[in-house]
Structure 1
Amino acid sequence: MKRKAHLFGIRHHGPGSAALLKGALDALNPACVLIEGSPEGDALIRHAALPGMKPPLAMLFYAADEAANAVFAPFAEFSPEWVAMQWALSHDRPVRFIDWPAAVSLALTRITGEETLAAVEKNQPEVPDVDEDDLAESPDMTAVETPPVDLDPLDMLAAAAGYGDGETFWNGLIEQHGGGQSPLEIFAAIETAMTETRQHQAGAGGISEARWLREERREAFMRGHIREALKQHEGEVAVVVGAWHIGGLRAETTIAEDRAIIKDLRKIKVEATWAPWSDGRLSYASGYGAGVISPGWYRHLWSLYSSHRHEGPEAFAAIWQARTAALLREEGFDASTASAIEAARLALGLASMRGLGVPGLAEMQDAALSSLCHGDHVKLAMIERKLYIGDRIGEIDEAVPQMPLAKDFELWCRKTRLKPEEAAGEVKLDLRSEAGLLKSTFLHRLNLIGIHWGRLTDAEAGRGTYREIWRLAWSPDMTVGLAEALVWGLTIEQAAAAATIDRGRKANGIAPLSDLVRGALVADLPEAAGVCIDLLQSAAVHNNDITDLMNAVAPLVRIVRYGTARKLPELELQALVRALSAEVNAGIRIGSRQLNDDATSQRVSAMRAYDEALGLFGDAALLEEWRRQLALMVDDEQAVAPVVGFSLRRLHDLGLWDEAQIAAAFSRQILGEMPDRAGSFIEAFLSGAAEVLIQDQTLLFLIDEWLCGLDETLFINNLPLLRRAFAGFDTVGRKRILERIAGGKKQRPVAADAVKHNPAFERALPLLKQILGMDA
């Protein structure tokens, strides 16, 4: 009789499947264990037994010449594949992966990408295929190839068994009954059911030809490995695969037939390493095709199955509800121990009513909602991330060889005491402290190589410029970023410097160069900063785009302000700011004529940033010339209206023109002008604050008079501009403006000028004007 391997059909990341598999391996005691997965991971298996390997973890496979072309194979502690590896290593049995190589799947990804790009260039729509194999999705996350199918095999089985959907069916029969069963009998039943269902699915046209070909090729590789193992080992051979594949692996094919179907597949060179993974990326909500709804719940189930104490469903329910109560208390809600006990009892009661031996996730949720949250879904939603998804990120043992950048990243994490966490968190850094400056340098360098673990939300908070506020959120995908950055160097510092210089040489325009200069300096990369400064100076000489020049000044001024916290080439930077600002001041008025709408919008935005930066820079001559240009632009009939509106607003805010001058200029811009130009002027003038109109009734009633003079068509045409202008006003500001208009014009009280004769106010006035950036 022909020998056959024992096929164990599992669900990836299923704790019940993992518990059954462990029992089956103990009963079978195989001589060899084969696992669905890319064979390039064989060399990594031995590391799984190291004490420092703490799931969730993933094997990372990436193209040697293009690290962005990568795929992960994730494992949780409750993943059957992980349990199979641990069993084989602990029993000193050979174990290896048998799926098609990552070299093939990544080559196909590259081909698909090239075909899609070619189609786009020809204006032909090319939709990449999608593989949606819920039950038997390989743990690798290869680029997908076939469109979604309508007939899910689990849904078909669920319908036959009287369940509402395949998820509920599989959880009820397998995942929540992972202990106390005869494992070999259960796996035999799974094999029979899934083989029949697969045949029915194929006969009913429930799978596309492209996907069928893909799965046939994968299974041809698997059958080849199984034949080889049966020849090499006299004892039993255990094969751990997604349950859907069992029917294909049992198919009677010849060696020649299997070789024929895979002989023309393209391969590329692939590197493999271990990488930390996370609960969030194990969840189905992350987009992972083989993901589970609740990694946190599955981990709790696994604790029941893997515990040697066998505490039973009572303790199982109590521990979960106690954790629910603790998380609710962390969020500030009342959740007593008595309520947690009541929730556990209710969950057990619901499970009994529904014919379950152990409460499922639905029973636990219903019980918590009733007893701990008193029917308030919001409370449960507040802890959903921590409780149901989980916030664990895996750890790699120090003995495991890693990519140089990944190793350097870990050294930096230990040095800065920053721990990767998937849940977003805020970190406030004081750059005057060595620890704060070190963390800031690390995070800035990571940003330069495209790893945005931290995003700077506020570099100006607190006192002066000594403080940074970062928003941190780690994603396992950033491991691919570390692999990609290897082309720049073997350490974070080397890679960040080389990447900055390369981007500087390829930069188009001086604003990006200015940002790179700032990025290099705050990341403590003086050589890269020097190269970018030279490139910026060279580009500025040949640049006549005023908007581009203004956009370059603002980040440079912010750099200079960091001079007290970091070692910077202040003299060179100050000279560069003065040179750029002189060019801006000389060309701003002529350059603000005949601009289209997009250019105008960009110009006003750049003027706002430039004006603020120049005030911070503190060069009196540059500031005086800039304000003179603002006045000239107000009287320039050819300047575009939004530029005029912004210029007049700044003259008003700085107190450089008196009320009569402002009112006269405002009147000239709206009365008798074309409505479109007048509306654009008003929009730019009013942008940002209602106080201008609340405090200055002359301007308020000039606008009122202009609006009242528009006919219906012109009013409708200007309405969008007015809506945008008033959009920034808060409710209180709008209400006060309406009250002012309803009250009509009023004479200014004579006492209003009395403050000018207040000696205390006069003594404080110079300091107040200095703080506000106004001329003394």
Structure 2
Amino acid sequence: MAGLLPGLPGGLLSRVEVYGIRHHGPGSARALRGALEEFKPDAVLIEGPPEADPIVELAGDPGMVPPVALLAYSPAPRDGDRRAAFWPFAEFSPEWQAIRYGLGAGVPVRFCDLPAAHQLVPLPDGEPPDGEPAAEGVRADPLGRLAEAAGYDDAERWWDDVVEHRGAGPSPFPAIADAMAELRARLAEEPAAPREEQREAHMRRTLRRTLKEGHERVAVVCGAWHVPALRAEVPAAHDDRTLRGLPKTKVAMTWVPWTHGRLAGRSGYGAGVRSPGWYHHLFTARDRPVERWLTAAARVLRDEDLHVSSAHVIEAVRLAEALAALRGRPLAGLDEVTEATRAVLCEGADLPVELIQKRLVVGERLGAVPERTPMVPLQRDLQAEQRRLRLKPSALGRELDLDLRKPTDLERSRLLHRLRLLDVEWGAPAGTGRSKGTFRETWTLAWRPEFDVELIEAGAWGTTVRGAATARARAVAEDAAALSDLTSVAERCLLADLGDALPAVMRALADRAAVDTDVAHLMAAMPALVRALRYGDVRGTSTGPLRTVVDGLVVRVCVGLPPAITGLDDDAAREFLAHVDAVHGALSLLGDEGRLERWRRTLEGVLARPDALHGLIEGRLTRLLLDAGRLHDVPARMARAVSAGTPPDRAAAWIEGFLSGGALLLLHDEPLLRLVDAWIAGLPAGSFTDVLPLLRRTFGAYPAAERRAIGDRLRRRTAPGTASPPPPEEEIDDERAAPAAAAALQILGWRT
């Protein structure tokens, strides 16, 4: 648009060009760069938060590598809720190209959207703040409507064909502006959202201010939907009324690394694209993009030892181009190259296509920001620790094996555990996070952009990772609602080597354990403490106070268990069964014979009064003492438990508790196996139906190989290790057996 802008003093002639783009569109980015080089503006305005104006020059630093994002956050929200928003930029984002052009040309670059101070305030109707750039389609999905008018059922495919896949030619921006103007005219009767009106009013206000400063050639880069609003003759007084009295909050602004995965539509970002890796390729591959793409796909497959030849690539290129010609597309798009990849390079297999989807189509690229980017001290300390320990952040998940006997690996483990205390889950322990009885840990590391927000929030606890984690551990210990929460904090303090926090945590733990009379709480707290005590020596940390607490817990659990474990209903028995197993496993892991002997004597005393025990508990205690070599009359006990005078549901519960430790006992103890077999075979029809769910739950937990071995042992009816032949098979009436066999197979999950 050229001429007078409404609201400016008469006689001030300026030229303003408004470029309507699609956020993260490579064709838009390429066309915009060419248009700017031709227009040569003396000021560039970009849709984005004005608070970023003081740090926009960082985009020209060699250390700034996209994808990156502007991050706006509330340093100290009054209500405690997280307030943060991102404005991401990839290399193929038109806004990024506009920023780089302006900085390279030495002209002012400013952001003109509604300030983040307003956008981070929730809207009155409860709608969340929309601090991210809005997708085209703010009202009634305009791209979808234009695509439908053009005969497309996919708005993204239409936009790709008319803009992103265009070659050299005239600028697309006048046609885009005309199309949006026509569409907005047709939608004029539909009310606009208040936030949309506020954003567009602020864009016009910023444009007026820029022209008043004397700039005569101003380029405005914004979402295509907003172009008609910026070209409309709206009085300045109207915009002032729209923006008057808007609520705002205090915000800070910085740059953070971003990833291609977070640009994808599945990340939840409103203006995301489904295929950032493909768009990056379209922008960077100036010639023969289809050939280069399929060559890269072949390279990915070869790296996985899949045979792909040059002939495969040639045929895939031909197929992709043929599909594009049949569909009337100017260039083979992602759909065409994917179909060609599946048919030729992958020979119809879907798994290699999924690999290419992850490695190329999305492409987990992690950006970088320069050292002088504004950061809170905690972020800088973490960066220093990452460099010192040679732990480079990566968007792609990778396995990290640590040997805790090596000083560097031990320090890495402590850093990752400290970050987890701060709720920064950069590293996730694989499995339990420790290999029992060894000095090894395995982690999965994957950096996400949200961690920067979490680090900023965690900065309230301290300026270093160690100091912040120490303060956070103390606070968690003070606010812990349950004894098990305190034991978890104590364990994490040992793993993170937070010696300064451990005394406060141990005092709180000892005080809580001394007054807690619930045996279930004490039993739930013990495993974490025992793990911490067991592995404390591996890490070279002091565990003296912890050992005292564990000793006290063992005594109190052994004293309180007999009355607490009697007279339980089904649900309570199942809960206590888990506690008994956890405590037994923890004390066995600890390897202290004195504590373990006291625990076993307690179990023997409880088992001496079987009438007061739930069948599940009695069966499990019997199994634990059998495994410890403390019982020698188990066949007799089982015979009594499953005798005809015992209710079937109690007998089934006893069997479930007894066999919950695994199937190996039945495989190696023929008398016990025959007892169970005889009991099941002798159940009346109604009782069998009642106990069947319990039996399925017990035997269904065994691995398939163990279930097959039990079935084979029962079929052969011979003890392991003997050479006696199986008894002769009885005559079976197949016709009479067929319904029963079909029912049994259906119960086992087989199709008949």
Q: TM-score over 0.5 for the alignment?
A: yes
Aligned to 1:767: none
Give CA-to-partner distance per residue, 1:570-623, whole Å, 9 cap, x none. Answer: 332222211111111111121112445544333222221211111122222221
Rounded to whole Å, the distance in 1 between the matches of 2:133 and 2:54 is 27
Is the CA contact 1:504–1:516 (under 8 Å) kept in the aligned structure 2? yes
Please state if 1:231 is matched with 2:203: no
Please state if 1:84 is matched with 2:98: yes
Is the CA contact 2:495–2:536 (under 8 Å) kept in the aligned structure 1? no
More moved, 417-426 vs 355-364: 355-364
Rounded to whole Å, the distance in 1 between the matches of 2:154 and 2:223 is 19
**Cα displacement (A) at 1:749:** 6.3
Is the CA contact 1:135–1:243 (under 8 Å) kept in the aligned structure 2? no
SS in structure 2 at match of 1:238: strand
Please state if 1:174 is matched with 2:171: no
Q: 1:219 aligns with which of 200, 210, 218?
A: 200
**Cα displacement (A) at 1:648:** 1.1
Give CA-to-partner distance per residue, 1:445-482, whole Å, 9 cap, x none. Answer: 11000011111125676684311011112211111110
Counterpart residue identity of residue 98, structure 1: C
Rounded to whole Å, the distance in 1 between the matches of 2:508 and 2:132 is 49
SS in structure 1 at match of 2:442: strand
Aligned to 2:147: 158
Aligned to 2:9: none
Is the CA contact 1:108–1:266 (under 8 Å) kept in the aligned structure 2? no
Is the CA contact 1:589–1:639 (under 8 Å) kept in the aligned structure 2? no
**Superposition pairs for residues 374-385 of structure 1, below 5 Å?**
374-385=347-358
SS in structure 2 at match of 1:34: strand
Give CA-to-partner distance per residue, 1:370-411, whole Å, 9 cap, x none. Answer: 331122222211221111001210111112222212111211
Q: 2:345 aligns with which of 372, 380, 388?
A: 372
Is the CA contact 1:14–1:79 (under 8 Å) kept in the aligned structure 2? yes
Tell me the TM-score normalized by structure 1.
0.86
**Superposition pairs for residues 39-50 of structure 1, below 5 Å?**
39-50=50-61
Give CA-to-partner distance per residue, 1:673-710, whole Å, 9 cap, x none. Answer: 33333333322222242222222333333333433454
SS in structure 2 at match of 1:565: helix
**Cα displacement (A) at 1:15:** 0.8
Is the CA contact 2:285–2:292 (under 8 Å) kept in the aligned structure 1? no
SS in structure 2 at match of 1:526: coil
Give CA-to-partner distance per residue, 1:60-95, whole Å, 9 cap, x none. Answer: 111121372111111101111111111111111111
Aligned to 2:740: none
Rounded to whole Å, the distance in 1 between the matches of 2:354 and 2:720 is 57
Is the CA contact 2:33–2:101 (under 8 Å) kept in the aligned structure 1? yes
Rounded to whole Å, the distance in 2 between the matches of 1:598 and 1:253 is 70
Is the CA contact 1:135–1:154 (under 8 Å) kept in the aligned structure 2? no
Is the CA contact 2:87–2:132 (under 8 Å) kept in the aligned structure 1? no
Aligned to 2:738: none
Identity %: 40
Aligned to 1:413: 386
Rounded to whole Å, the distance in 2 between the matches of 1:133 and 1:30 is 24
**Cα displacement (A) at 1:740:** 3.5
Rounded to whole Å, the distance in 1 between the matches of 2:219 and 2:563 is 80
**Superposition pairs for residues 687-698 of structure 1, below 5 Å?**
687-698=660-671
**Cα displacement (A) at 1:355:** 4.2
CA RMSD of aligned residues (A): 2.6
Aligned to 1:758: none
SS in structure 1 at match of 2:691: helix
Please state if 1:685 is matched with 2:699: no
**Superposition pairs for residues 481-520 of structure 1, below 5 Å?**
481-520=454-493
- For residues 423 and 713 of structure 1, do their structure 2 counterparts lie closer, same or farther at Cα, with a shift above 3 Å needed? farther
Is the CA contact 1:521–1:568 (under 8 Å) kept in the aligned structure 2? yes
**Cα displacement (A) at 1:349:** 4.2
Is the CA contact 1:458–1:468 (under 8 Å) kept in the aligned structure 2? no
- For residues 399 and 131 of structure 1, do their structure 2 counterparts lie closer, same or farther at Cα, with a shift above 3 Å needed? closer
Q: 1:646 aligns with which of 609, 620, 627?
A: 620
- For residues 171 and 257 of structure 1, do their structure 2 counterparts lie closer, same or farther at Cα, with a shift above 3 Å needed? same
- For residues 285 and 576 of structure 1, do their structure 2 counterparts lie closer, same or farther at Cα, with a shift above 3 Å needed? same
Counterpart residue identity of residue 156, structure 1: R
Q: Which runs of 5 or more structure 1 residues have no equivalent in the other structure?
A: 116-126, 138-147, 306-311, 752-776
Tell me the TM-score normalized by structure 2.
0.89
- For residues 676 and 131 of structure 1, do their structure 2 counterparts lie closer, same or farther at Cα, with a shift above 3 Å needed? farther
- For residues 598 and 232 of structure 1, do their structure 2 counterparts lie closer, same or farther at Cα, with a shift above 3 Å needed? farther
Aligned to 2:67: 56
Aligned to 1:666: 638
Is the CA contact 1:331–1:382 (under 8 Å) kept in the aligned structure 2? no
Is the CA contact 1:688–1:728 (under 8 Å) kept in the aligned structure 2? no
**Superposition pairs for residues 429-468 of structure 1, below 5 Å?**
429-458=402-431, 464-468=437-441
**Superposition pairs for residues 334-349 of structure 1, below 5 Å?**
334-349=307-322
Number of residue equivalences = 708
Aligned to 2:502: 529
Rounded to whole Å, the distance in 2 between the matches of 1:365 and 1:748 is 58
Counterpart residue identity of residue 645, structure 1: G
Is the CA contact 1:511–1:551 (under 8 Å) kept in the aligned structure 2? yes
Is the CA contact 1:8–1:187 (under 8 Å) kept in the aligned structure 2? yes
Aligned to 1:275: 256
Aligned to 2:181: 195
Is the CA contact 2:85–2:131 (under 8 Å) kept in the aligned structure 1? no
Is the CA contact 1:513–1:536 (under 8 Å) kept in the aligned structure 2? yes
Q: 2:88 aligns with which of 74, 82, 93?
A: 74
Aligned to 1:427: 400
**Superposition pairs for residues 739-754 of structure 1, below 5 Å?**
739-744=712-717
**Superposition pairs for residues 273-312 of structure 1, below 5 Å?**
273-305=254-286, 312=287
Rounded to whole Å, the distance in 2 between the matches of 1:164 and 1:458 is 45
SS in structure 2 at match of 1:68: coil
Counterpart residue identity of residue 553, structure 2: L
SS in structure 1 at match of 2:168: coil
Rounded to whole Å, the distance in 2 between the matches of 1:705 and 1:631 is 28
Rounded to whole Å, the distance in 2 between the matches of 1:32 and 1:430 is 56
Is the CA contact 1:409–1:492 (under 8 Å) kept in the aligned structure 2? yes
**Cα displacement (A) at 1:19:** 0.7
Q: 2:36 aligns with which of 2, 25, 28?
A: 25
- For residues 620 and 462 of structure 1, do their structure 2 counterparts lie closer, same or farther at Cα, with a shift above 3 Å needed? closer
